[in-house]
Amino acid sequence: MDYNTNRDKLRLPEYGRNVQEMVNIIKNTPDREERNRLAKSTIQLMGNMNPQLRDVADYKHKLWDHLAVIADFDIDIDSPYPLPTQAEIHQKPMKMKYSNPDEIRFKHYGKILEDMVRKATQYPDGEEKDALIATVANQMKKSFLTWNRETVSDDVIFSDLLAIACNRLKIPEGLKLKDSREILRMQAAASNSAALTNTPSKKTKKKKTSPIKKKQK
């Protein structure tokens, strides 16, 4: 009996044992033209087995790369694309740089809002800068009330804003933020509206009443 445990390990199991055997035959074929012909036929078969690859950009290139992987990167054919090496396939991706959560001083405001505050420090003094400070401060108040469902004074928001800006901003004189109760009311209304939208409506069917025919005397 020829058990799978005694066979070579499948390099790409999604193509199955038969495709891997076909690739081995290609590798052992002495005539180069015949190898190229068999390789093209195998690529066509691989494409038919995985039609979802046709939605991927350069799916033909992808198939030839898969052929090289199945051949363990040891196949001498004329590929229309440069065949990958083992080092290229197994190359580890670069690590993404994530923001350190410890760098966010006020987590209930979020990283983007703190970046907006620091951006405001770069604006020249004037009406545009004052308008930006007012917008950011109101957004900070909304964010504060999202996580802390109680009233908050404008002085607390201004104090946090200056702390984030390292005192490089000046609060416009006479600036008044939106009332806490109004913000909470709007947030509750938006939440209720979203809940109603996501709730499937049940349609009640009216029963049809058949008219009663009076017997003629």
Tens place of pLDDT for every residue, the chain, 217 residues? 666 677 788 899 999 999 999 999 999 999 999 999 999 999 999 999 988 877 777 889 999 999 999 999 999 999 999 999 988 888 888 877 765 655 677 888 888 888 899 899 999 999 999 999 999 999 999 989 888 777 889 999 999 999 999 899 999 999 999 898 888 888 888 888 777 776 665 555 555 555 545 455 4
Q: How many CB atoms lie within 10 A of CB 108?
A: 14
CB 107 within 8 A of CB 101: yes
Q: Which long-range contacts (CB under 8 A, 24 or more apart) does 184-193 make?
A: 184/145, 184/149, 187/142, 187/145, 187/146
Residues in the chain, overall count: 217
pTM over cut 0.95? no
